Structure 1
Amino acid sequence: MMRYELSAIISTQSVLGLICAQHQSARLVALPVADIVLVPVTQDLVLELDETGTRVSVETGFWQLSVGVEGLVVAGSVRGRIAYLEADYVGREGRQTAAVWQSGETIYGPMILGRNEPFPAEGNSPICGALRHLGVISAGHRDEFVVAGLGRFRRTVDWC
């Protein structure tokens, strides 16, 4: 079975460009949606932001989100909307969590789809909802996840 895992920050070039310029481990990746970019949240980035790599409480629904990355997202959201996404799947079984911040406040989520929950109808997953908050629009049978090109790689590190 194929595994898919992703931990990423997504926003516009104007919001994330400055953040990436300030952090050596942050890599900006253009997505196939106008002005939307992704920063893979790698262990190097986590440790650059917080040497301990301390994670936020799992009660948030996030398993990988570190305190340093959360601080970066919250601070950066004063420039515009920023989404943080996590997904971990083997075949069709797995989990995903997503949230969107704007002006230092959470405006969406965290939305959680757990391991034993049925996958929702097209476009109703946490990640698709977060992408909609960033202006990504589904096209026909292609939901926001597909339109944004998030299936291009199967592992976070492959985005680097």
Structure 2
Amino acid sequence: MNPLTEKLIRASFVNCSRREAAEVTLPPDLSGLRWDRLDYLGWIDRKAPLRAYVVLPVDDETLVGIALRSPEVAGKRRRAVCAWCEDVYATDDVSMYVARRAGAPGRNGDTIGTLICTTFGCSANVRRTPTIIEAGDDPAGVVARRIEGLRERSARFADEVLRAI
């Protein structure tokens, strides 16, 4: 992923107003991120823990920012598999996130939800060293397929947010 600036992030949001995008609490240190190891940027709002945001590249040039909310409160969560990274080992820290659809459908209350790693660790999950059973003779190929799958599934979610009903 290419490094993002505050201006690029705020301009990318598709399912909130300009005023709401201007009020988004950004991650504290954008310059300290390892952009080459991220497939998307995701963070939880420090001021409102039930709000979160993701910014992901779609079609290698278009950025789509999505405001999310989590209907779950802190505490006991059920074990689940993230719909984006599909990591079967990181199942304790997965949350349901809901996003308003873009445009008129979102203004009318239409939403879409998905299970995502609570702290948006999908990029690290897909890059973990595969087990011998997973990798066989091709560990690099397994990691490459995981990365591609994460990018495809997260972009599909962004497409669903943008899709008019």
Calculate the TM-score normalised by the size of structure 1. Answer: 0.31
Structure label with greater radius of gyration: 2
Higher helix share: 2
The structure showing larger relative contact order (alpha-carbon pairs under 8 Å, at least 6 residues apart) is 1
Of Structure 1 and Structure 2, the greater strand share is in 1
